[in-house]
Amino acid sequence: MKYSGWPETGELVVGEVDEITDFGVFVDLDEYENKRGLCHISEVASGWIKNVRDHVNVGQTVVAKVLDVDEGSQQIDLSIKDVNEHQRKDKIQEWKNEQKADNWMEVAFGEDLTDERYREVANALLAEFESLYDGFEAAAIHGTDALEDVDLDDDAIEAVVQTARENVSVPYVNVTGYVDLRCPTGDGVDRIKEALQAAEGDGDSVPEEIELEVTYVGAPEYRIQVRAPDYKTAEDALEAAAGRASDSIATDGGTGEYHRERHEDDE
């Protein structure tokens, strides 16, 4: 998606070098419709520059900082040298992500997606998320719940969620914890099985974006493994699973103890 407006001073932009002169470099801004900026020779690189072409080439993709915007004269002043390598990499990745999201819009709503419908959906997502990509990523992780505040009809939301789950590579983290379960009653084995089932939870206790598995280590220890979108979510799910197991066994006269490290005598 290309924005129809103007970039803001201080913003980082991605563009393609389309002309090189003795006094600087003209850059076609990839994120804005019909917008072109000038990077003066003094802003291309640090130090004295003998030949601009030693630093940039026509057709090269660059990340530049917006120094000034004069809408009246249709002029955008840029600086390439003011962008460090970390900023450049982050901006390029952000730009690539938005290109992916742009393609996903067509996948979600068909090749005959009109500009008007595109803007309607895009603006609704951007009202709740920093970028289109963020909206698709949230939909991939949390499903329709992520879009409950987005001003779109149910069919549009379902299209975004389905496309997101088929195309977005969601970053996941894995955490592991342990719970010791003991039950002195005659049917203690059955009570422990029930506690393990409680730990694994169901659709109400374990959100669909979380994968949770409970395995036997060695009596009385059981391993709980959680795969989730981020560490906080994973840690919360891990503790909640151990808590469900402990509560279940406690109602039958047993005990449950949660710990993060495996017992040394089990190594």
Give the pLDDT confidence of 136-188 residue by residue, as tens digits: 999 988 888 899 999 999 999 999 999 998 898 877 888 899 999 998 888 88
How would you class 225 by CB atoms within 10 Å of its CB: exposed for 0-12, middle for 13-18, buried for 19 or more?
middle
* DSSP per position, 130-181: SSHHHHHHHHHHHGGGGGTTSS--HHHHHHHHHHHHHH-----EEEEEEEEE
* Domain boundaries, position 152: 87-167
- Over the stretch 12-70, which tens digit does the pLDDT of each residue have? 999 999 999 999 999 999 999 999 999 999 999 998 888 899 999 999 999 999 999 99
In a domain, 7, yes or no: no
CATH number for the domain including 183? 3.30.70.1130
Boundary of a domain, candidates 111, 135, 167:
167
> Is the preceding omega at residue 229 within 30 degrees of 0, hence cis?
no
At 188, the amino acid letter reads G
Structural domain includes residue 267? no
Greater confidence (204 vs 104) lies with 104
Domain-embedded: residue 19: yes
6 in a structural domain: no
Question: Does 109 lie in the same domain as 70?
Answer: no
Same structural domain, 111 and 57: no
Task: Please report, for residues 64, 84, 87, 121, the alpha-carbon distance to residue 92 in angstroms, rounded to integers and kept in the order given.
Answer: 11, 12, 8, 24
DSSP SS3 for 50: coil
- Kindly state whether residues 16 and 55 are assigned to the same domain: yes
Q: Could you tell me the CATH number of the domain that includes residue 51?
A: 2.40.50.140
Give me the number of domains the chain comprises: 3
Chosen domain end from 33, 48, 82: 82
Task: CATH number of the domain at 105, please.
Answer: 1.10.150.190
212 with 131, same domain: the answer is: no
Does the pTM surpass 0.85? The reply is: no
